[in-house]
Amino acid sequence: MQPSKNLGYLLHHLSFMVDQQSDQLLQERLGIGFAQFKILMALKWRDGVQQKQIAKYLGQTEASISRQIGNMHDKGLLESRVNPNSRRERSIVLTNKGVKLAENATSILNHYYVPMFARLSEKQQLQLAEILGIMHDEVRKGDQAGH
């Protein structure tokens, strides 16, 4: 089967395949899925946020995030804290175990994808990072505009 020349299709298909491979790899090595990894990373970048903020940031439903957070809480990877200014609000923070797992998962994924990136020159890698950054910004703008 010949790959499509449609950039949208190629990007979507690549994203799906990378997600699938990452999920399988993390399940086998660490017992977590890629969905949980994304939550760990979101909390690593900005600790102490609410579930709904994580859901919005990751583009997922609050229900799916809630299920994952429950599983991760049971594993001791994160905890929720009551906002001292509003007892009804809870923020999610990583535990030390969660931070270490996020670091291990990042290392495993980076190592796994080295061969793919090794096929690109340093210049191509920089260009790819720049292009993906632009595309990410455009998608985020669409999210914020309600699309």
Q: What does the pLDDT profile of the chain (147 residues) look like in tens digits? A: 566 678 888 888 999 999 999 999 999 999 999 999 999 999 988 878 888 889 988 888 999 999 999 999 999 999 988 777 777 778 899 999 999 999 999 999 999 999 989 999 999 999 999 999 999 888 878 766 655
For residue 20, what pLDDT is reported?
Answer: 96
For residue 82, what pLDDT is reported?
Answer: 79
- How far is it, in rounded angstroms, from Cα 50 to Cα 9? 33
Segments forming the whole domain that contains residue 34: 11-112
Does 4 reside within a domain? no
| Residue 43 near residue 78, CB atoms below 8 Å | yes
For residue 143, what pLDDT is reported?
Answer: 64
For residue 24, what pLDDT is reported?
Answer: 97
For residue 35, what pLDDT is reported?
Answer: 92
- How far is it, in rounded angstroms, from Cα 50 to Cα 91? 5
Does 99 reside within a domain? yes
For residue 127, what pLDDT is reported?
Answer: 96
Assess whether 66 and 97 both reside in one domain.
Answer: yes
Distances (CA, A) of 110 to 55, 117, 139: 24, 10, 24
For residue 3, what pLDDT is reported?
Answer: 62
Does 6 reside within a domain? no
What is the phi/psi pair of residue 91, to 5°?
-115, 155
Does 39 reside within a domain? yes
CATH number of domain containing 26: 1.10.10.10
Give the three-state DSSP class for 6.
coil
Question: Among candidates 44, 142, 130, which has minimal Cα distance to 93?
Answer: 44
- How far is it, in rounded angstroms, from Cα 35 to Cα 47? 17
Those residues with Cβ within 8 angstroms of residue 104's Cβ, 6 or more apart along the chain or in another chain: 30
For residue 97, what pLDDT is reported?
Answer: 96
